Chains A and B, each alone.
Chain A
């Protein structure tokens, strides 16, 4: 069975700079596995997640999700793959304003190609599982905690093999952050998705059995002279 995520010889350099922002020789994640990526601000955590999601092009190297080389895909094919196989959670949630909680979740299903008839029931069920019983309320009318739950439900809606969480607790107080991270991890376990979570919060480290430092990954790559 293919790994949920397989990164090989990945390099990414922003145009006009003289160093690699991302430099990883190997990083692999099995199905359902959860890893915390740590690193200081500017070390490339968000950049790595966007490379994995196929939203940016690597300078070199390969990224495979569920055995598929994301960057071999082009255009709409890659977009559909992302919509189907990868869920994303952001620090500021990035919910669609003007739409209800259920519609935000349904939007993920819409672009995944899932049968239309099941969108609404799946969204309401997911939100209910997460303790949100007001699926038709516009997202700007929800509390921060409720918005966080909508964001998690949206990321999990398509049963992705991989969930990418970019500093998901950075805008929450410690207690709420603990609860949010617990929800994300539990949700990923329940749907069997691997989780790559970035954070610079040391308190989060205890929640993950596997932790990787981007700095260490870079040094390892440099040590091998690649």
Chain B
């Protein structure tokens, strides 16, 4: 058993615990900031790409393609201008044959803050949040929707919950719920008697028939029901406004003005093994020639969005890098100040036979260890910080982001922090190298 170099370094660090802890925390904050930013940037983009899934086109009547994607796929705001039945029929007639799927959707209702997407069964059988899922290819590598519990809806007034929506509202298969018009908080059927809200579609109870597995997309926080139910409950509102004595509305009461959709998810048919089609540009051009609709290529819009925020992203990462450099300066100052107090220790080590080179190595390793401890603490901080950021994004923007740390990038940041720490130890190491033994071994006082 002997006294190792690490023991010497450990005693040195623990002898000035306050300085050591504050320095490590300073480094950790910088690493947390950097890793969280990098993780959220990559995960955010992945979340956006997962949200658009395997659709090629999104048709709506929003003011621009980008707004169309944000509203129609990411539930930023319920689209204000619907596509009516006649237009839907015309689009279906003109284009459905060229499409692998043509899935109409309608938004506008919510349940406890979670958006409700009324759609058709094809939403689950043909559309998927996995961009690689080709519904026409039996050998497709992509994954379709998966149920954690229950089944997909196949009748009016059945509802399927996204994974996050189910977790946050606590519903179970078999529960009855009432949705609200707009985004006001709704409540379970059981709560309705106690606190009635005039915005609740109180005459129509939905039954929860399924809960989805997490998809890592914006759809995880949504509820899915069929279009007919949605048309019926809004037709009921219309009919009651016209005649307050109306107590029931069925599919037979629907008129053309009730049959509205806010978006159409479309995928052009592709060959097996391919996710693109040469027909897309031509179809896109034809659709864009129609001034009454807005046509978006979701992936292009996501690229546009990230180009817009890209410069902000770079500024944030540059700021995080600056914080990392300043944390390196903090290491240098901590060690430099401690070297002033440790000259006698260095002189004693030199008398005992420790070479100048070894003294320098001890200081550099100590410095690098401060960087390493900071990097490890920073990684832990980033794991927590990114979850907090993801929660904030989910709650405030509705974007479901699953923070993922790229192993290579994480290792690079951790390695850079250790190297930065070691570099920060250079000046203190020079001070140690130049310590005069004779001057520092004199009796004190």
Residues of B within 8 A of A97 (CB): 15, 345
Residues of A within 8 A of B356 (CB): 75-76, 79
Which of B3, B351, B357, B443 makes the CB contact (< 8 A) with A92? B443
Residues of A within 8 A of B354 (CB): 79, 83, 111
Bound together, the chains give a CA A47 to CA B438 distance in angstroms of 8
Q: Is B344 an interface residue (CB 8 A)?
A: yes
Known: A55-B350, A92-B443, A94-B348. A80 touches B2 (CB 8 A): no
Known: A90-B441, A99-B11. A53 touches B351 (CB 8 A): yes
Bound together, the chains give a CA A94 to CA B11 distance in angstroms of 17
List CB contacts (< 8 Å) of B122-172 with chain A. none
**One of A3-11, A59-67, A113-121, A141-149 contacting the partner:** A113-121
Known: A55-B438, A56-B438, A98-B15. A103 touches B3 (CB 8 A): yes
Q: Is A134 an interface residue (CB 8 A)?
A: no
Q: Is B352 an interface residue (CB 8 A)?
A: yes
Known: A103-B3, A120-B2. A111 touches B349 (CB 8 A): yes
In the complex the two chains form, is B3's CB within 8 Å of A99's CB? yes
In the complex the two chains form, is B351's CB within 8 Å of A88's CB? yes
Residues of B within 8 A of A98 (CB): 11-12, 14-15
Bound together, the chains give a CA A88 to CA B356 distance in angstroms of 18
Nearest chain B CB to A54 CB, angstrom units: 10
In the complex the two chains form, is A119's CB within 8 Å of B438's CB? no
List CB contacts (< 8 Å) of B5-40 with chain A. 7, 11-12, 14-15
Q: Is B241 an interface residue (CB 8 A)?
A: no
Q: Could you say which of B7, B12, B443 has the most chain A C-beta atoms within 10 Å of its C-beta?
A: B443
Q: Is A107 an interface residue (CB 8 A)?
A: yes
Bound together, the chains give a CA A47 to CA B2 distance in angstroms of 32
Residues of B within 8 A of A55 (CB): 350-351, 437-438
Interface size on A, residues (CB 8 A): 38
In the complex the two chains form, is B438's CB within 8 Å of A108's CB? no
Q: Is B315 an interface residue (CB 8 A)?
A: no
Residues of B within 8 A of A27 (CB): none
Known: A90-B441, A91-B443. A84 touches B353 (CB 8 A): yes
Interface size on B, residues (CB 8 A): 28
Bound together, the chains give a CA A116 to CA B345 distance in angstroms of 22
Nearest chain B CB to A105 CB, angstrom units: 10
Q: Is B240 an interface residue (CB 8 A)?
A: no
Q: Is B309 an interface residue (CB 8 A)?
A: no
List CB contacts (< 8 Å) of A44-89 with chain B. 46-47, 50, 53, 55-56, 75-76, 79-80, 82-84, 88
Q: Return the chain A residue nearest B444 by Cβ.
A: A92
Q: Is B1 an interface residue (CB 8 A)?
A: yes
Bound together, the chains give a CA A91 to CA B444 distance in angstroms of 10
Nearest chain B CB to A90 CB, angstrom units: 6
In the complex the two chains form, is B350's CB within 8 Å of A107's CB? no
Nearest chain B CB to A142 CB, angstrom units: 16
In the complex the two chains form, is A79's CB within 8 Å of B353's CB? yes
Q: Is A106 an interface residue (CB 8 A)?
A: yes
Nearest chain A CB to B6 CB, angstrom units: 12
Task: List 9 other contacts, CB 8 Å, given A98-B12, A110-B2.
Answer: A46-B442, A75-B355, A76-B355, A82-B353, A83-B354, A96-B348, A99-B3, A111-B354, A154-B352
Q: Using a CB–CB distance below 8 Å, which chain A residues touch chain B?
A: 46-47, 50, 53, 55-56, 75-76, 79-80, 82-84, 88, 90-92, 94-99, 103, 106-112, 116-117, 119-120, 154, 170-171
> 26 interchain pairs (CB within 8 A)?
A46-B442, A50-B438, A53-B351, A56-B438, A75-B355, A75-B357, A79-B354, A82-B351, A83-B353, A83-B354, A90-B441, A90-B443, A96-B345, A96-B349, A97-B345, A98-B14, A99-B3, A99-B11, A108-B352, A109-B2, A110-B352, A116-B1, A117-B2, A119-B1, A154-B352, A171-B443
